[in-house]
Amino acid sequence: KAGVTQTPRYLIKTRGQQVTLSCSPISGHRSVSWYQQTPGQGLQFLFEYFSETQRNKGNFPGRFSGRQFSNSRSEMNVSTLELGDSALYLCASSERDSLYGYTFGSGTRLTVV
């Protein structure tokens, strides 16, 4: 069974640009969540999607957005990048909800210069 696949693994962007990260969940998993990990703030929840609908959203500015497609694949977009957006972005999938536990991808490391 393939794991959660995140692409790209590494990304370097310039301030002001936008970026799109992709996540392919485990087959059959309909819940996809996104987390940001930084040395200063640790792991923080961005948003969760289930069957193409956003079920929950964290405390991030509107520059952070996401979506989920009918095949459960998800993308997150960050517009007008700031230096502080440099982080490891992790995607996690679950069959339905937290009681099933989450499987995380290896992450996308974004560096904003």
CA 92 to the chain's CA centroid = 8
**Contact between 43 and 91 (Cβ < 8 Å):** no
15 vs 43, which CB is nearer to another protein? 43
53 vs 80, which CB is nearer to another protein? 53
* SS3 label, residue 86: coil
50 vs 81, which CB is nearer to another protein? 50
Min dist CB 68 to another protein, Å, is: 14
Interface residues with another protein (CB under 8 A) are 4, 31, 33, 35, 37, 41-45, 48, 50, 55-56, 58, 88, 90, 92, 94, 97-99, 101-107, 109
C-alpha dihedral over 98, 42, 64, 24, to 10 degrees? -50
Min dist CB 102 to another protein, Å, is: 6
Beta strands 10-13 and 108-112 are parallel
